[in-house]
Amino acid sequence: MSDNPQPRDRGRPVGSRDSYKRKAPVTRAVEQHLAEIMKLLAEMNRRHRNEHESLPAVLRWLTDIERQLGLVEKPAAPKSSRRQPLGVLIK
């Protein structure tokens, strides 16, 4: 055994130009695939945000229509008095 820590004649080093040329097409394909995935993810996030932001507005609009048609009564705020300061019944 020799004291040399690096083995001899084991082929080209990992970072050689030859290995880069062989791995380059795979790297490009992976990058393209990741770009497609990121594009789809951005579209999903945009769609989710639009649905999340528009739902309360649609529900308010629907409630207003139901109140106009008399299908739902408008909620009344509790009235406060001296006996019932916060509108809570005391038994």
pLDDT digits (tens, 9 = 90+) for 12-59: 555 555 555 555 677 888 889 999 999 999 999 998 888 878 888 888
| Sign of the CA dihedral running 41, 47, 50, 55 | negative
DSSP type of residue 13: -
Taking the model in full, what pTM does it have?
Answer: 0.39
Which token pair is 4? 């040399």
Q: What is the pLDDT of residue 27?
A: 82
Q: Distance of alpha carbon 21 from its chain centroid, rounded?
A: 37
Task: Yes or no: say if 63 and 72 are a contact pair by the CB < 8 Å rule.
Answer: yes
Rounded Cα distance between 8 and 10, Å, is: 6
pLDDT digits (tens, 9 = 90+) for 69-79: 888 777 777 77
Q: What is the pLDDT of residue 73?
A: 76
> Higher confidence at residue 47 or residue 91?
47
Rounded Cα distance between 46 and 43, Å, is: 5
